[in-house]
Amino acid sequence: MLGEDIGNGLSSFHLGNLPAGKTAEIHLKVSFFADINENGYYYKFPLTHRYQNGAVTSDYSDNPESFHFATTIKTQRDIQDLKVSVDGTKDVKDAHNATFVTNNPPAKDAIVIETHIKDEDKNIAI
């Protein structure tokens, strides 16, 4: 397998000839900047895909047979709650660490995670 960054936020993966019934997994380690709103921080993980001809789509009529998304959230501020745009398992491990895992493909073109922080931390510059 060969992967490369082809620009414009896209990566290309060449898997070669996979025999029928075989599964290929691609694991990406990425980071995103968090935005801030009145509740705390929010992250948007884009999942829109682009076909070779350049057409962008978020039509999930071609849902994958299996989907797995997992993330770890670490913050210096106290976490109050997590709000996530897809169903899955949320676990606030302690005041500064949380995880989210889902095997359900999203109906939209992104997974949005809001990390609500406690009120006493909202007035602190980040």
- Average per-residue pLDDT for the chain: 76
Q: Could you tell me the pTM of the whole model?
A: 0.64
Instruction: Please give the full DSSP string across 53-83, using - where no structure is assigned.
Output: TS-EE--GGG--S---EEEEEE-SSPEEEEE
- pLDDT per residue as tens digits for the range 47-57: 765 544 554 54
SS3 77: coil
Q: Which pLDDT belongs to residue 107? A: 76
- Binning pLDDT at 50, 70 and 90, where does residue 120 land? low
- Domains in the chain: boundaries: 30-121
- Binning pLDDT at 50, 70 and 90, where does residue 125 land? very low
d(CA 124, CA 126): 6
Q: Which pLDDT belongs to residue 106? A: 79
